[in-house]
Amino acid sequence: MGSNDCGGASFNVPRQYGVTKPLSTAGPTEADLQRNMELEKLLVDAGLYENKEEVVLREEVLGQLDQIVKSWVKQLTRQRGYTDQMVEDANAVIYTFGSYRLGVHGPGSDIDTLCVGPSYVSREEDFFIILHKILEDMEEVTELQPVPDAHVPVMKFRFRGISIDLLYASISLLVVPEDLDISSGSVLYDVDEPTVRSLNGCRVADQILRLVPNVENFRTTLRCLKFWAKRRGVYSNVTGFLGGVNWALLVARVCQLYPNAVPSMLVSRFFRVYTQWRWPNPVMLCPIEEEDLGFPVWDPRRNPRDRTHHMPIITPAYPCMNSSYNVSTSTLRVMMEQFQNGNKICEEIELSKASWSALFEPYFFFETYKNYLQIDIVATDADDLRIWKGWVESRLRQLTLKIERDTYGMLQCHPYPHDYVDASRQCSHCAFFMGLQRKPGERVQEGQQFDIRATVEEFRHSVNMYMFWRPGMEISVSHVRRKQIPSFVFPEGYKHSRPARLPLAGKVFAENAENGTLEYEGGSSLRRQRKRKNDADACDAESSRPEKRQSVGPNNSSTQAAVEEPDEHPKQEQESTSQSINGNSGLERKQCNGGAASRSIDSAVDSRENTCQKNGSRLGTLSNDVMESEGQVCCCRTSKVTGIESQGSFRVNSCHHTIGPKLLENEKGSRSRLLQSGLESKPDTVIVEAHGGVSSDPVQKPVIRLSLTSTA
């Protein structure tokens, strides 16, 4: 095959690896070798290498799996009336790819495997039905999960505790030879595109190992960069970042550019190269070549869709594809920021101003943004949650893209590729989070809103189209502020207090008479001081005069309440004790299987929120005094609300939430009424709830409408 020879000729010195000449052929200095020893020691101490017992176990599992698929194919051959000789010759072969094939897997890593079978054994029936049944009946197999409708159809399971991702490819041969060369182009004759995608995992892994100058240096560097990416929250292909094959291709290209460098040098060069890389220029290990088989290859000159890719990383095996098509503008921005941070640290390491441990400091995601989306996923049991979570996680990228689309790129999203579990819930639960911020450098009008309710509802609707949906599988999307991040996301169960900032000179703290919170006036800028004074003076005057606000989003409604992003210097706030109100005085909260609990809302809000809510921003389903006190009960469900009874109780699927009287009493003693008529007339209307606080007490639930001011 043509692409096998793209490593370049060997008669020139230095040898050219890839599509360009090396940037440098320099070898390591004594200082480089010393830093390399320190780096390798850190990787060992971090537990990135598996022990001998796990190595042996993996080999045994692969051997058993190979025997299972061989027996399965022989059984099918006999049942279909083939001759005894055909039954004897019938065969299937197991190949590995991914991190295991590249030699960079660690303890607990899964094994990406491919089963290659004869032409008469199908994927749809024989693999996903008959082989699935065989595996299901085995005691060694647990957590069996078929995913036939995936872009690359896969069967996931654990075999003797080892996680396995098993693909299947039926090639155009009646008998599969044991020594089949899967890198040969002949295996692609007369097969469909899902089969090509299944075969390409192994073909790409083999090509990568052929195209790097030094395999061991490549492996150590890749192991290091994967560890770094996981620590910094940018390792996840499904959520729009980069997965294992993407990082392998990026590292392999750096190895080609610096063929004589050791891992410590390659890590530093990695950040130097990709900090300066001009995306969307593609990263390629060899020229893109076309065969006569007719499969499409990545070519932005011919394919308009390829022109929309933000970070093209091209696979080296035919048909060459962009392995990073999931990357969005938001996730590319996050990765570029992390590349720049890594480059800065590596420069300090080379100057002996920092150690390697500084490079692998964890990313403090929940300290980075002021606004977040919380995506809660619940199911009736752990098995249902595993299936449901996998589907929802695969759709999170769509939520990022929809928000970028509906806000014209002005609201940036940072999906975090880690899930968190609230153990206090009675139902099986996990949650994902997204950071939100206004695009830096964009000039916006004061009070400009980002209304993403319709965007979230569109996302939920697409998620609920899951063909394997079961009762109890639910999803809710909530807006939370940094101060409201739930406690279960922190390892110790509580949020570490941030270092207190010293008040600026001339800053005066005073109690706000309206909501009981502490505010300050003054500061380093006279303009800021006057602005805050004017805002305070305008509260009463503006409450009687509606103010028109510009809304950025799919729905430009004049009846919208705003949730503002805090100022750059947040106000000092007095913590209010949120308490559940039982009986006739509020909302009784109940946990149930398959549903997120509705919670009462009693907490103080800042004066800026109250000002916005008084300026004519109203939600049709809530009365004015509810909006002023933020005493909202906002629920997000996966299915239609079947009805709201006169007593205020309603049912969603199997969950029963009892709402007390329609009057909610806030801390000031004012009574606010929840108008049920609006919700009854539009049962499909969803107001996204907000989970907050660092304790389990009920908290504020503002609507997802972000009003990011110019001071944010």
* Active site residue ranges: 99, 110, 112, 165, 226, 235
Between the CA of residue 426 and those of 469, 592, 678, what are the distances in Å? Answer: 20, 6, 31
SS3 state of residue 575: coil
Give the HSE-up count for residue 655: Cα atoms under 13 Å, Cβ half-sphere: 29
Structure tokens at 606: 């800042």
Cα separation of 27 and 47, whole Å?
28
CA angle, corner 534, sides to 532 and 536, nearest 5?
Answer: 70
**Which residues touch 603 (CB under 8 Å, ≥6 apart)?**
576, 578, 630, 667, 699, 700
DSSP H helices, 183-243, are 193-211, 215-231
Cα separation of 353 and 346, whole Å?
10
**Which residues touch 97 (CB under 8 Å, ≥6 apart)?**
112, 113, 114, 201, 202, 204, 205
CB-based burial, 515-553: b 16+ in 10 Å, e otherwise: bebebbebbeeeebbeebeeebeebeebbeeeeebebbb
598 by Cβ neighbours in 10 Å (0-12 / 13-18 / 19+) ranks as buried
5 by Cβ neighbours in 10 Å (0-12 / 13-18 / 19+) ranks as exposed
Amino acid of residue 442: E
**Which residues touch 107 (CB under 8 Å, ≥6 apart)?**
47, 48, 49, 50, 51, 54
DSSP H helices, 316-463, are 329-350, 356-359, 382-406, 453-463
Of the chain, the end-to-end C-alpha distance in Å amounts to 56
DSSP H helices, 578-696, are 607-614, 624-629, 677-681
Cβ distance 161 to 206 under 8 Å?
no
Cα separation of 392 and 463, whole Å?
6
Cα separation of 10 and 150, whole Å?
42
Closest C-alpha to 535, from 514, 552, 551, 553 = 514
Secondary structure letter of residue 366 according to DSSP: G
Within 10 Å of residue 399's Cβ, how many Cβ atoms?
27
